[in-house]
């Protein structure tokens, strides 16, 4: 069997446009594999950019909270911080001891969700904030790992008098975590359930190449009874507000658990729009995905990346007993290989769109790649990092669209939704800068988009090569619509 390209993860950069910034390198747009078109848009005349605040330690989640303040989780700082959107003034309302963070990796304080009753008039109950973070489980990790990283979901009570989060109550713990692909997006659903994403731990690639990828493995009844959540990697979870399993969760392989969907790689975006749940997911060398999540759906990973089209991807199972040196570009015959067309799950759900799909003969080390040898700079992926539904009317033409920030090229993708939410239309690329865009929030009037940026990491520079000199590290940026 001839060596085939093996697609691996990399969170870094591609192309784009500018918003009141110097001219930046751009690249041709590959096929996105969906309906509609994807286009760069020069929008500097329509939006004003402002640096709202700086000095945040890798802001991961940013939400508009009651009272008009922005609530931010700082991933490597282990803090929840309030930011005044008028002045940028910061107030720490919680610091969590025991958050595990590793320099240059993806663990730490992650998702946050606010109970809809929080600070509402005449509401004294449900003054809750939900947080997720990685911690040291105190034992030996999976596959003999020295560190026993786990994820925990905790409910805090907001004390308005002291402006602090108090009375932590653990809802669920012992969930799988890693130095890579933790995902960690948390949203409060319209059905009063919590939805949470967990990635595949980065298994079967790079330094984790010889650990089995278990995104397809479902929990057994014995595991659920024992509260053994090992199989939750590569899954979207649905939980009751006390952390228990909802009675109407899907039964998969005869077992009802927290698992809502499975077969995911690194789903870092999660949002509801008109009652439907959408997710953005980071692919390997191609095929980042925008998905409509359906209960019990299998999204294919690691057997399928993007569409089941046999284009530029084959699953090589490096964990299957091989001791050969890992190669991210060619799979030797000794490594078991699985082609996309061989995957026949009846509940497979294709993505709404990919970013981006390329032909099977695509050269991932082509002449246009980064001259430093960091080939992932030119991979046809964007590394989508979160997802938000825009349902306001302040910005013409934006109604009922999804906002998807990206890490590699420092830009925001705006994606039109159809009226029924079952398909997507055109995509627009906005706000290009030399940053890693991690999350967004939308002002109550819909006129301002808040963007959180990573404190460090690689992005695409003005010359097209990789750079770790970010324009606005650890910041909140605002883009306010000023057009007519």
Domain ranges of the chain: 57-376
Between 23-27, 36-40, 107-111, 460-464, the lowest mean confidence (pLDDT) is in: 23-27
Preceding omega of 356 cis (within 30 degrees of 0): yes
Sign of CA dihedral 138, 142, 146, 149: negative
Closest CA to 7 of 328, 319, 309, 317: 328
In this model, does residue 19 exceed pLDDT 60?
A: no
Quick check: helix, strand or coil at residue 13?
coil
Closest CA to 54 of 480, 455, 470: 455
Catalytic pick among 115, 181, 258, 389: 181
Mean predicted confidence (pLDDT) in 365-383? 76
CA dist., res. 233 & res. 244, Å (int) = 18
Pinpoint the alpha helices (H) of 141-199. none
**β-bridge partners, 450:** 441, 478
Q: Is 181 a catalytic residue?
A: yes
Average pLDDT, the chain: 89
CA dist., res. 456 & res. 469, Å (int) = 8
Residues near 174 by Cβ (< 8 Å), separated by ≥ 6?
137, 150, 152, 227, 228, 229
Preceding omega of 302 cis (within 30 degrees of 0): yes
pLDDT of 120: 86
pLDDT of 180: 86
pLDDT of 302: 98
pLDDT of 12: 26
Kindly indicate the confidence band of residue 245, based on its pLDDT and cuts at 50, 70 and 90. very high
> pLDDT tens digits for 406-423?
999 899 999 999 999 999
Per-residue burial over 172-199, b if 16 or more Cβ lie within 10 Å, else e, is bebbbbbbbbbbbbbbbeeeebbbbbbb
Considering the entire predicted model, what is its pTM? 0.92
Structure tokens at 161: 């008098």
> pLDDT tens digits for 305-355?
999 999 999 999 999 967 889 988 889 999 999 999 999 999 999 999 999
Q: What is the CATH number of domain 57-376?
A: 2.120.10.30
> pLDDT tens digits for 260-309?
999 999 999 999 999 999 999 999 999 999 999 999 999 999 999 999 99
In this model, does residue 225 exceed pLDDT 80?
A: yes
Kindly indicate the confidence band of residue 103, based on its pLDDT and cuts at 50, 70 and 90. confident
Share of the chain above pLDDT 70, in %: 87
pLDDT of 406: 97
């Amino acid at each position: 069997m001839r060596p085939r390209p093996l697609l691996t993860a990399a969170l870094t950069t591609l192309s784009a446009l500018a918003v009141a910034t110097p001219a930046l390198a751009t690249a041709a747009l590959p096929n996105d594999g969906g309906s509609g078109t994807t286009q760069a848009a020069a929008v500097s005349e329509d939006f004003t950019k402002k640096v709202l605040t700086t000095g945040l330690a890798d802001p991961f989640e940013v939400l508009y909270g009651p009272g008009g303040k922005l609530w931010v989780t700082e991933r490597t700082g282990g803090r929840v911080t309030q930011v005044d959107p008028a002045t940028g003034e910061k107030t720490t309302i919680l610091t969590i001891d025991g958050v595990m963070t590793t320099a240059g990796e993806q663990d730490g304080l992650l998702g946050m969700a606010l109970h809809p009753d929080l600070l509402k008039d005449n509401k004294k109950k449900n003054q809750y904030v939900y947080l997720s973070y990685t911690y040291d489980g105190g034992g030996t990790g999976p596959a003999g790992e020295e560190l026993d990283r786990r994820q925990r979901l905790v409910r805090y009570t907001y004390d308005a008098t002291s402006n602090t989060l108090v009375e932590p109550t653990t809802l669920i713990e012992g969930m799988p975590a890693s130095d890579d692909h933790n995902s960690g997006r948390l949203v409060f659903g319209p059905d009063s359930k919590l939805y949470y994403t967990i990635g595949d731990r980065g298994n079967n690639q790079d330094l984790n190449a010889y650990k089995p990828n278990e995104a397809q493995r479902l929990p057994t009844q014995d595991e659920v009874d024992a509260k053994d959540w090992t199989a939750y990697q590569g899954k979207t979870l649905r939980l009751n507000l006390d952390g228990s399993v909802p009675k109407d969760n899907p039964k998969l392989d005869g077992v009802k658990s927290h698992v809502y969907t499975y077969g995911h790689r690194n789903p870092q975006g999660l949002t509801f729009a008109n009652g439907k749940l959408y997710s953005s997911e980071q692919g390997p060398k191609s095929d980042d995905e925008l998905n409509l999540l359906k209960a019990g759906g299998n999204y294919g990973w690691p057997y399928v990346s993007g569409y089941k089209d046999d284009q530029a991807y084959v699953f090589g199972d490096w964990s299957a007993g091989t001791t050969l040196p890992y190669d991210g570009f060619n799979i030797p015959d000794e490594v078991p290989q699985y082609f996309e067309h061989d995957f026949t799950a009846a509940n497979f759900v294709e993505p709404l769109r990919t970013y981006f799909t390329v032909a099977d003969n695509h050269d991932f080390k082509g002449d246009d790649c980064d001259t430093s040898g960091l080939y992932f700079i030119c991979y046809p992926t964007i590394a989508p990092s979160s997802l938000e539904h825009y349902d306001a009317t302040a910005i013409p033409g934006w109604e009922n669209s999804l906002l998807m920030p990206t890490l590699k090229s420092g830009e925001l993708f705006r994606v039109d939704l159809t009226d029924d939410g079952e398909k997507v239309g055109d995509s627009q690329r906005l706000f290009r800068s030399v940053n890693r865009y991690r999350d967004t929030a939308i002002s109550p009037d819909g006129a301002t988009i808040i963007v959180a940026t990573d404190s460090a990491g690689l992005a695409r520079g003005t010359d097209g090569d990789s750079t770790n000199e970010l324009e606005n590290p650890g910041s909140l940026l605002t883009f306010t619509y000023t057009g007519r």
